[in-house]
Amino acid sequence: MAADQDEPTPEQKLGYSMTTPDPRRSQPMARDITADFSAAASALNTGQLVKDEYFTLFEAVGALEIMDPKMDSGFLNPGETLEDDYDVLRELLPEEVLGIMDQMLCYEMAWHMGHPLSQSLFTSLYLDRLLWPEPKTLEGARFDRDNAPGLGNEMLHVVLRAFCLGLIKTCDFVHRRISTEHYYEEEDFVANLYYRKLLTDFEVANLEKTLDDAALYLDGEATIPNKTLKDALVNRLELRRSMLSAVQIDGIVDPHRVTFWERCLELLPGCSKTSTLGTPIVQSFSIKIQRRLASSVPPRPIVNISHHEAFVQLTSLCQNAKDAYRILDYHGGNHLMTFVSAYQSRMPQPCVYVRSLMQSMVFSEMRVLGTMSFKQLIFDDLEEIVLPADVLVDSTNWDVEAPQDPRFHMAKRMDDFVTRAADPFLDIFRTLCMNRSRLRRMLCHLVLDWDSVQVDAESFDTELRTYNKEEPIKESKNPSEELWAFPLSSWAYYHKLRQMEWIVQMGFELDVYLIDELGGMYWYLQHLTSTRIQHLERIRTFTTRRLARISKPTPEQKTAFRRSFSFLDFATLDAAATASFAEGLSCVFSFLSHLGLIPAPYHARPYSTPALRYNLRMRPFLSISLPEVPSYPEFASLVSLRTPDKTNAAPATQPEINDQASQMLELADQALKAARREWEAVSKVDAETARCVGCEDWWRTSAKNVLRACITANIMVSTAKKAVVSAGSKDPKDVLNLELVESGKGYHPWWVVPKISAK
């Protein structure tokens, strides 16, 4: 596994000692130690483990048993040869070249999907010949290597070679892009190159020229009578060239890159259609190469994906990469966040290369989207959420040089705050670019960072007050109590609450909650969004007062306040819509467990206790200072769980049970009706207000799907209501059918709506 990665391959060791002899090391003296070893081993019992404390499970798992064909990649079955007998230099027909190109494309996609090169591209004998031993010049990267180039066989030496070189260089750029960003080794991508270099040292222009020359050669080639076949080859060379230009490292944030991806998308349907013309050469790929790539891991099978799957994968890669560039059209921090989150939550999620590309666009070489400083981004976000046209973010403060001037200090402290908050803020975007499982796990860490950003921000707020002469709000009822705006910590709290909501919502998406937990988790989501609404109200109070105190607002000030109020309005609507839907579903699940159609939340199990299981579920939030996680008894009574005391009470009569069931349905009904109105309102909001300029299509699709889920939930509740009425004093369970929708099969992954029907 990972243990093999630092070890040089036998070839490398050999190459090293041949070319650079180490004078300090004398020739080793060999001595047969078999007898000593047997003697020492006989002192041990069978099964006794001799290990130091550094021999961990990881090493145990990485260990191999030599001569076991399933583990020992060097093991040869009787009659098996070490090398392949496929002749890389044999004459190739045009249709064979086409076939090989498409096979390579499949393996390239397999690599993009997370499989190692040793099980995909690097099994190609052609690529192996080009890359090993490492060519010193681009001219040297040829199939006949050191031999003088022979005449003829241009299909191989010109066409296939150009294709291969273009492919390898593309992989080089892809590999470097992913390696500079956050990703998870083995989960997302296997970065191991097995000591091969992917033409890293050669200029992209020379490779582009090689591809152009090959296309020219084909153009003038009269010996391919089949025009469709010839065009298919030319198109593939152009596809390679466009992709190569698209993924180049230099200038990755240049919006013109889109044109290359567009060209790929134009070429792809034709390539896909003509793939049937090719003749695949299966023997030109061999698992035996693995022995030389990674001798210390077990042999692993070649990963074969179909042409169809490969073209689908490549098309979505190109489309997603093209779409990613839409991010460069900046409209504000909240638009940016909506963009990244909407972009990443589309299913299937964009592949790791594109997710890395997006990270690079958001922030690389100290620039946001290639043009802005991080400070600009944070200030923009602060202005929109808490500080419209505020003196704290007034850019003229930074021109003040007199230390006695409060503006000088405000500028300094605000800079310090940006330094403090920059990484956690950037991490939100980064986290959103991770695979969905990691997204949830990383959010659980990030939210703790934000908890401490919030604490630190409070000190900043307190200190800044002395410079900006903030006056607290004094309630007339209680004049001794002073309310301060705490803008920076309010901002941090806002972002923290959003992350907490995401953690819960990702739990639904990833199918982490058991059926009996759904009611409680929707209750908690409702609790978090209600807290966000209260927090937005608090922010609004201070912003409103600040505006009221400006006697004659300038047009710029008016615009800034208008923008901030529009944000607060929309955020409140969005939070309210989420809260209502969550409340409604929570009631639906309570109703179902009340009737015994699903198990009661955290019901008794042989091990652990309900409270312990609740604590386990709430663990990501337990150490967060605010909002505090309710204790289990509080939670249980709030969510109207069947707590142990309740179950111990005398069993309720059927009419009583039905009466309670009706009440629960009534609550569900009210909440879901409100949710429907609110989600309708959300889905009608214009892009500017919804902070989704640039990603309106994805955002709208998602909002519509939530609305669909919400409408379905409304229908389910009215069905249930009718059934309970018709049951009279009988058990409604006997007239209701419950069907749980499989994870990922509903309208929206964050909204689990059970199917309820009358029997």
Beta bridge partners of 757: 737
Instruction: Confirm or reject binding of residue 722 to other proteins (CB under 8 A).
Output: no
3-class DSSP state of 690: coil
Considering only residues 514 through 543, tell me which ones interact with other proteins, judged by CB under 8 A. 514, 517
Helix, coil or strand: residue 474: strand
Which pair of structure tokens corresponds to residue 222? 């009269």
> Does the footprint of other proteins cover residue 63 (CB under 8 A)?
yes
d(CA 211, CA 163): 7
HSE, side-chain direction, 13 A CA sphere, residue 681? 16
Task: Work out whether the CA dihedral 51, 53, 57, 58 comes out positive or negative.
Answer: negative
CB 496 within 8 A of CB 450: yes
The closest alpha carbon to 604, from 592, 612, 594, 615, belongs to: 612
b/e 450-462 (16+ beta carbons within 10 angstroms → b): bbebbebbbebbe
Told to check if 435 binds other proteins by CB under 8 A, we report: yes
Q: Does 114 bind other proteins (CB under 8 A)?
A: yes
Q: Which helix (H) or strand (E) holds 655?
A: helix 654-684
455 lines the binding site for other proteins (CB under 8 A):
no
Decide if residue 594 touches other proteins (CB under 8 A).
no
- The amino acid present at 446, given as its one-letter code, is L
Q: In this complex, which beta carbon is closest to other proteins, that of residue 30 or of residue 57?
A: 57
Binding of other proteins by 46 (CB under 8 A): yes
Closest separation between CB of residue 301 and other proteins, Å? 8
Nearer to other proteins, 47 or 150 (CB): 47
Q: Which residues pair with 748 in a beta bridge?
A: 751
Q: Indicate which single residue of 599, 688, 731, 757 sits in contact with other proteins (rule: CB under 8 A).
A: 599
Which region, judged by CB under 8 A, interacts with other proteins, from 45-53, 135-143, 146-154, 413-421?
Answer: 45-53
Dist. CA 42–CA 285, nearest whole Å: 46
Q: Is 613 in the site for other proteins (CB under 8 A)?
A: yes
Using the rule CB under 8 A, is 182 a contact of other proteins? Answer: no
How far is residue 538's CA from residue 536's CA, in Å, rounded to a whole number? Answer: 5
Q: Is 7 in the site for other proteins (CB under 8 A)?
A: no
Stretch that binds other proteins, among 149-157, 556-564, 585-593, 606-614 (CB under 8 A): 606-614
623 binds other proteins (CB under 8 A): yes
**Does residue number 48 form part of the binding site for other proteins (CB under 8 A)?**
yes
Q: Is 449 in the site for other proteins (CB under 8 A)?
A: no
Of 593 and 714, CB closest to other proteins: 593
Confirm or reject binding of residue 605 to other proteins (CB under 8 A): yes
For residue 514, give the nearest of 600, 597, 642, 439 by alpha carbon.
600
Burial class (CB in 10 A: 0-12, 13-18, 19+), 265: middle
**Closer by beta carbon to other proteins, 352 or else 485:** 352
- Tell me the backbone φ, ψ of residue 483, rounded to 5 degrees: -110, 125
14, 39, 44, 60: residue in contact with other proteins (rule CB under 8 A): 60
Q: What is the pairing mode between strands 363-364 and 367-368? A: antiparallel
**Segment lying near other proteins (by CB under 8 A), choices 97-105, 308-316, 555-563, 618-626:** 618-626
Q: Which of 206, 201, 204 is closest to 245 using CA atoms?
A: 204
User: Using the rule CB under 8 A, is 513 a contact of other proteins?
Assistant: yes
Q: Which secondary-structure segment (H or E) carries 755?
A: strand 755-758
Residue 438 binds to other proteins (criterion: CB under 8 A): yes
Closest distance of CB 449 from other proteins, Å = 12
> Closest CB to other proteins among 359 and 714?
359
39 belongs to the binding site for other proteins (CB under 8 A): no
Q: At 742, is the secondary structure helix, strand, or coil? A: coil
Q: Are 751 and 585 in contact (CB under 8 A)?
A: yes
Which are the contacts of 90, defined by CB distance < 8 A and separation ≥ 6?
Answer: 156
Q: Name 515's bridge partners.
A: none
CB of 60 to other proteins, least distance (A): 4
Which CB atom, from 113 or from 426, has the smaller least distance to other proteins?
A: 113
Pairing of strands 473-474, 755-758: unpaired
How long is the chain?
Answer: 759
Q: Which residues of 626-660 are buried (b: 16+ CB within 10 A; e: fewer)?
A: ebebbebeebbeebbbbbeeeeeeeeeeeeebbeb
Among 44, 282, 612, 758, binds other proteins (CB under 8 A): 612
Stretch that binds other proteins, among 31-39, 58-66, 390-398, 649-657 (CB under 8 A): 58-66
**Shortest Cβ distance from residue 321 to other proteins (Å)?**
21
622 touches other proteins (CB under 8 A): yes
The residues near 14 (Cβ < 8 Å, ≥ 6 apart) are none
Instruction: Select 434 or 497, whichever has its Cβ closest to other proteins.
Output: 434
What is the rounded (10 degree) CA torsion for 416, 419, 425, 431?
A: -160
Which stretch, 8-16, 46-54, 364-372, 722-730, contacts other proteins (CB under 8 A)?
Answer: 46-54
Residues 333-392 within binding reach of other proteins (CB under 8 A): none
Choose which of 95, 181, 188, 583 interacts with other proteins (CB under 8 A). Answer: 188
Of 130 and 592, CB closest to other proteins: 592
Both tokens of residue 655?
């009419």
Contact 420, 577 (CB under 8 A): no
Q: What DSSP state is assigned to residue 396?
A: G
CA distance 246 to 354: 12
The residue range among 168-176, 181-189, 493-501, 666-674 that interacts with other proteins, by the rule CB under 8 A, is: 181-189
37 binds other proteins, rule: CB under 8 A:
no
CB of 749 to other proteins, least distance (A): 12
* 232 vs 521 by CB, closer to other proteins: 521
Which of 197, 300, 733, 755 lies at the binding interface for other proteins (CB under 8 A)? 300
- Binding other proteins (rule: CB under 8 A), the pick from 176, 197, 326, 436 is 436
Size of the site for other proteins (CB under 8 A): 56
Contact pick of 76, 180, 184, 725 for other proteins (by CB under 8 A) = 184
Bridge partners (DSSP) of residue 738 are 756
644 binds other proteins per the rule CB under 8 A: no
Stretch of 126-134, 605-613, 718-726, 733-741 contacting other proteins, by CB under 8 A: 605-613
If binding is defined by CB under 8 A, does position 437 make contact with other proteins? Answer: yes
| Contacting positions for other proteins (CB under 8 A) | 1-2, 45-49, 51, 57-65, 68, 70-71, 113-115, 184, 186-188, 298, 300, 435-438, 440-441, 444-445, 510-514, 517, 599, 605-608, 612-613, 615-617, 619, 622-623
